[in-house]
Structure formats: structure tokens, C-alpha cells
């Protein structure tokens, strides 16, 4: 860990026990609705795995195409997936990616609530990484964290602290599809005072998987987390495209 303060945090957490999650909602003045979610597989003795994709044009299909879902199911892991979060029912703007990271994290926590799980492993890809980090920072039910080709879109890290810097205007989805941004004034959510941002609070062991396209963000994240390791797939532009990636994730979560 990083310095005396981090060691004191770890010691306090050990004494406090498991119930040290930040009080929710984490979004000041805006409470997420009931998210649409799904689970696949039979609940067993192991913690379920919450899958969270990032860039909207990928969709939940990336877990099937990459082989990650199949590899986890072979390992007899139940899968939780966020099908449609609360914001997309508020305005069509959010169907094109105007999704504040903080509200997404709050909604992921709501999915864990609905699942009834006491613990959960989280696998996030691309732009899903920042909401997953916020979840791991503030929800003590996160047992392991895997960040796959992580992006720091809408955020930055300075002195081991996560800062949100979400901007209004066109999203990557709109840019990629060549669409005019018609929702430049989507209201961003503001954090409640209880929300933690210093990354020393991520006590979950974390695996960062990356390749050439995401190496900068991945390295910055790995160096800022107290219990993180990183694996690079040098032969691929994205780690998710490497056929070894799916089994690497399943093996790590089985540890």
C-alpha cells in the first residue's frame, strides 16, 4: 500500500469488519430507479460475477463473443448483467451514452442488492471501468475486481484519488455513429458527502488486463491501486480479443 495513511485504513477496516460500505445513495438528490438486470446460471456456493460493459455500441454481447461468459459458466459461476439502468428510462439521451459514472455505480450496487448476494466479483470492460472502481471504493461486497481494457473516460487519477470530469456534449457513441448530439445539457449527478474517492479504499484484489490500445490508462490504474496486478497481451490491440483472456479471468476469480 501507499504510506502510513493507507496502512491505517487497512487496519481500521480489519477491525471494523465487513460492514463499512459508504451509505447510499451515492448520488446527491438523485436516487436510481429499479434497474433491469438478469442472471444466468444456478446460484452455488461461490459469489456471483457482475459483468459491466462500457462503450454502449458493444452491448452485453461482448461477453458472449469474447468467450468470457462461457468460461465463467464452465467454472459454475452465476452471472449478473445490467440490462438497462435507470437513466435510460428517464430520457432518450441516455440511450446514446449520456451516462454519469456515479449514477451507473449506484445502479450497479442496486443490482447486487436485488441479487441478494453477500459478496460479488466484478468484471468491467472499457468505459465500464470507472463505475466499477467507484463501486469497489464504496461497496464492501466487492470481493474481486477485474478491469478489462480499462478506460478513464469521464475521470482522471491524481495522487491515488479518482476525480470525475464528465463533460456535456457528444458522446463516443454519437461520434462513432456520426450522429448530431441533441442532448448537450444532460444533468450530471453530484456525489453525496459519504462517497469515497481515494483509491487506497479499493481493498478487493484487482486484475488489470490490457493490450496496446489501453496500456496508458491500465498502467495508471494498476499503479494507483493497493492490491492490483496487471497482465498485458502484447500480441493484441485489445485484451478482450485475445483467446487467453476468458480463461485468465475465470482462473483469477477462482483464486
Structural domain boundaries enclosing 109: 28-254
pLDDT at 90: 53
**Is there a domain that residue 16 lies in?**
no
Does the residue 195 lie in any domain?
yes
Q: How many domains does the chain have?
A: 1
133 found inside a domain: yes
CB 199 within 8 A of CB 160: yes
Task: Report pLDDT for 51.
Answer: 93
Grid-cell match 491505517, residue found: 8
Has residue 19 been placed in a domain? no
Cβ neighbours of residue 224 under 8 Å, at least 6 residues apart? 157, 160, 199
In a domain? residue 23: no
Instruction: Look at residue 157 in the predicted model and tell me its pLDDT.
Output: 97
Question: pLDDT tens string for the chain (255 positions)?
Answer: 445 544 554 554 555 444 568 888 787 655 555 666 677 766 667 899 999 986 554 555 788 889 999 999 999 999 998 765 445 555 566 666 666 788 788 888 988 998 899 999 999 999 899 999 999 999 999 999 999 999 998 899 999 999 998 777 777 667 777 778 777 666 666 788 889 999 999 999 999 999 988 999 999 999 999 999 999 998 888 999 899 999 999 999 997
Helices 215-224 and 129-138: crossing angle in degrees, nearest 10, is 10
Q: Which of 166, 176, 156 has the alpha carbon at shortest distance from 217?
A: 156
pTM of the model: 0.84
CA distances from 253 to 72, 86, 92, 211 (A): 9, 28, 36, 20
* 122 occurs within a structural domain: yes
Taking phi over 0 as left and psi of -120 to 50 as alpha, with beta for the rest, 160 belongs to: left
21 within domain boundaries: no
DSSP state of 6: H
Pick from 77, 86, 75: which is nearest to 109 by CA? 86
CATH number of the domain bearing residue 43: 3.40.50.1820
**What is the spatial distance between Cα 21 and Cα 56, in angstroms, rounded to a whole number?**
28
pLDDT value at residue 181: 77
Residue 8 domain-assigned?
A: no
Pairing relation of β-strands 79-84 and 161-164? unpaired
Show Cβ contacts of residue 14 under 8 Å, excluding neighbours closer than 6 positions. none
What is the per-residue pLDDT for 124? 95
Cell numbers linked to 200:
487506497
Q: Which residue is listed with cell 483509491?
A: 199
Amino acid at each position: 500500500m501507499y504510506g502510513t495513511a493507507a496502512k491505517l485504513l487497512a487496519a481500521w477496516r480489519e477491525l471494523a469488519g465487513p460492514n463499512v460500505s459508504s451509505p447510499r445513495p451515492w448520488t446527491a438528490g438523485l436516487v436510481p430507479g429499479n434497474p433491469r438486470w438478469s442472471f444466468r446460471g444456478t446460484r452455488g456456493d461461490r459469489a456471483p460475477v457482475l459483468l459491466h460493459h462500457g462503450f454502449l455500441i458493444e452491448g452485453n454481447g461482448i461477453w458472449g463473443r469474447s468467450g468470457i461468459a462461457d468460461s465463467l459458466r464452465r467454472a459454475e459461476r452465476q452471472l449478473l448483467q445490467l440490462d438497462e439502468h435507470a437513466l435510460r428510462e428517464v430520457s432518450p439521451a441516455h440511450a446514446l451514452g449520456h451516462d454519469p459514472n456515479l449514477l451507473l455505480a449506484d445502479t450497479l450496487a442496486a443490482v447486487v442488492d436485488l441479487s441478494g448476494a453477500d459478496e460479488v466479483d466484478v468484471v468491467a470492460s472499457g468505459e465500464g471501468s470507472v463505475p466499477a472502481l467507484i463501486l469497489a471504493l464504496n461497496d464492501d461486497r466487492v470481493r474481486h475486481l477485474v478491469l478489462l481494457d480499462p478506460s478513464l473516460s469521464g475521470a482522471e487519477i491524481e495522487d491515488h484519488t479518482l476525480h470525475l470530469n464528465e463533460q456535456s456534449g457528444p458522446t463516443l457513441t454519437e461520434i462513432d455513429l456520426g450522429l448530431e448530439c441533441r442532448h448537450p445539457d444532460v444533468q450530471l449527478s453530484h456525489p453525496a458527502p459519504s462517497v469515497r474517492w481515494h483509491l487506497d479504499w479499493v481493498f478487493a484484489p484487482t486484475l488489470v488486463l490490457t493490450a496496446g490500445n489501453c496500456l496508458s490508462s491500465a498502467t495508471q490504474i494498476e499503479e494507483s491501486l493497493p492490491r492490483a496486478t496487471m497482465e498485458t497481451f502484447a500480441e493484441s490491440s485489445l485484451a478482450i480479443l485475445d483467446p487467453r483472456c476468458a480463461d485468465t479471468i475465470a482462473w483469477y476469480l477462482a483464486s
